[in-house]
Amino acid sequence: MTAVHGGRIFQFAREFAHDVNSVRDFSANINPFGPPPFVVRAIEAALPLVRHYPDPSHEAVKEALSDRLSVPRDRIVCGNGAVEVMELVLRAIAPQRVYILEPAFSEYAALAARCGATVQRLSAAFEPGSQAPPIPVPDGAAAGDVVIVNNPHNPTGTRWTAQQWQGAAALWEARGAYTLFDESLIDFLDDAPQCTALQTEDRAERRIVVRSLTKMYAIPGLRFGYAVAPRAIAARIESNRDPWSVNVLAQAAATVALVEGFGFERGTRERMREERTFVRGSWGAHRAVWLHEPHANFFLARFASPSCAACIVQEAAAQGAMLRECSSFAGLDGAHLRVAIRQHADNAWLWDLVAGLLDARAECR
Provide the residue-wise pLDDT of the chain in tens; the chain has 365 residues: 455 566 677 887 787 778 878 889 999 999 999 899 999 999 999 999 999 999 999 999 999 999 999 999 999 999 999 999 999 999 999 999 999 999 998 899 999 999 999 999 988 888 888 778 888 877 777 888 999 999 999 999 999 999 999 999 998 888 999 999 999 999 999 999 999 999 877 667 899 999 999 999 999 999 999 999 999 999 999 999 999 999 999 999 999 999 999 999 999 999 999 999 999 999 999 999 999 999 999 999 999 999 999 999 999 999 999 999 998 888 899 999 999 999 999 999 999 999 999 998 877 87
Which residue type sits at 3? A
Q: What is the CATH number of domain 37-260?
A: 3.40.640.10
Rounded Cα distance, 35 and 237, in Å: 30
Name the residue among 363, 302, 294 with its Cα closest to residue 329.
302
Which architecture characterizes domain 9-30+263-364 according to CATH? Alpha-Beta Complex (3.90)
Q: Which ranges in the chain are annotated with CATH 3.90.1150.10?
A: 9-30+263-364
Rounded Cα distance, 265 and 239, in Å: 33
Count of CA atoms in the C-beta half-sphere (13 A) of 116: 6
**This prediction's pTM:** 0.94
Q: Which ranges in the chain are annotated with CATH 3.40.640.10?
A: 37-260
Rounded Cα distance, 52 and 5, in Å: 32
